[in-house]
């Protein structure tokens, strides 16, 4: 009697193991829909400058970081901002934004970093507007 049961469960076990195997094969052999961001060599240098100077203690990327300064995810492509504006910010500082004495090359690397971050998407990724009737219209960017 017990032997019969063992055989029965062996079958179930085999089915489960083969489903698991197929599942794993599919999961590990399917290309993801999104590709990983590959920063260029210069952008990586820029990221290091970003990290070393703790920009993230005051600024956010995709909403993460300190909240003294604004989110910089899309500062590179923002209307009336971009490269020249960012350079000016770094050179002069304003209010709580410190003045950094980066040389031309370091600034360019930082800009490369911010430019490539900007290409990964929008933050926030929706435009929300409040209507007169109290409803909020949300548009994806």
* Given 86, 107, 109, 116, the residue binding ligand HEC (CB under 6 A): 86
Determine which residue in the list 18, 24, 57, 91 makes contact with ligand HEC, applying CB under 6 A.
57
Paired residues of 126 in beta bridges? 140
- Please spell the DSSP secondary structure of 90-106, one letter per residue: HHH-BTTB------HHH
Dihedral, CA of residue 82, residue 89, residue 56 and residue 54, to nearest 10:
130
* 124 interacts with ligand HEC by CB under 6 A: no
Which residue, 8 or 121, has its beta carbon nearer to ligand HEC?
Answer: 121
Tell me which residues in 104-123 interact with ligand HEC (CB under 6 A): 110
Quote the tokens at residue 10: 């062996």
Cα angle: 94, vertex 48, 43; to 5 degrees: 90
Q: Which residues of this chain interact with ligand HEC, rule CB under 6 A?
A: 50, 53-55, 57-59, 68-70, 72, 75, 81, 86, 89, 94-98, 100, 110
């Amino acid at each position: 009697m017990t032997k019969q049961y063992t055989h029965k469960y062996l079958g179930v076990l085999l089915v489960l193991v083969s489903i698991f195997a197929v599942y794993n094969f599919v999961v590990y052999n399917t290309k993801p829909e999104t590709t990983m961001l590959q920063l260029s060599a210069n952008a990586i240098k820029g990221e290091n400058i970003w990290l070393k100077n703790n920009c993230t203690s005051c600024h956010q990327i995709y909403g993460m970081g300190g909240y003294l300064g604004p989110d910089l995810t899309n500062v590179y492509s923002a209307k009336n901002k971009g490269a020249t504006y960012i350079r000016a910010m770094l050179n002069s500082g304003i209010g709580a934004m410190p003045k950094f004495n980066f040389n031309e090359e370091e600034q360019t690397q930082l800009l490369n970093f911010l430019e490539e971050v900007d290409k990964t998407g929008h933050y926030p990724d929706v435009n929300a507007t409040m209507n007169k009737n109290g409803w909020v219209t949300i548009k994806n960017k």
